[in-house]
């Protein structure tokens, strides 16, 4: 993997098999998106979910819940 930084964004190069790429194309097409936009959206959503869950857990610890 190589990362190239330009104007506040980065390029991430991935090597994936043909079957996965076809599934990604199918999912992206159903949403009217490019594969790149679909993958980035999925990563952003997953990152948000993880950060949100961590915040919930920290809040529960603070209040002694759970």
- Confidence at residue 54, expressed as pLDDT on a 0 to 100 scale: 93
Around Cβ 56, how many Cβ atoms within 10 Å? Answer: 12
- Confidence at residue 5, expressed as pLDDT on a 0 to 100 scale: 44
Do the Cβ atoms of 28 and 20 come closer than 8 Å?
no
Residue 66 confidence (pLDDT) above 50: yes
- Confidence at residue 10, expressed as pLDDT on a 0 to 100 scale: 84
pLDDT per position as a tens digit, 25-62: 999 999 999 999 999 999 999 999 999 999 999 999 99
pTM of the model: 0.69
Q: Is 5 left (phi over 0), alpha (psi -120 to 50) or beta?
A: beta
10-38 average pLDDT score: 94
């Amino acid at each position: 993997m190589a990362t190239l930084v330009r104007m506040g964004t980065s390029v991430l190069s991935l090597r994936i098999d043909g079957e996965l790429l076809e599934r990604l194309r199918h999912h992206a097409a159903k949403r009217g998106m490019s594969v790149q936009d679909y993958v980035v959206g999925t990563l952003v959503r997953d990152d948000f979910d993880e950060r949100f869950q961590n915040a919930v857990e920290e809040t529960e610890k603070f209040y002694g819940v759970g």
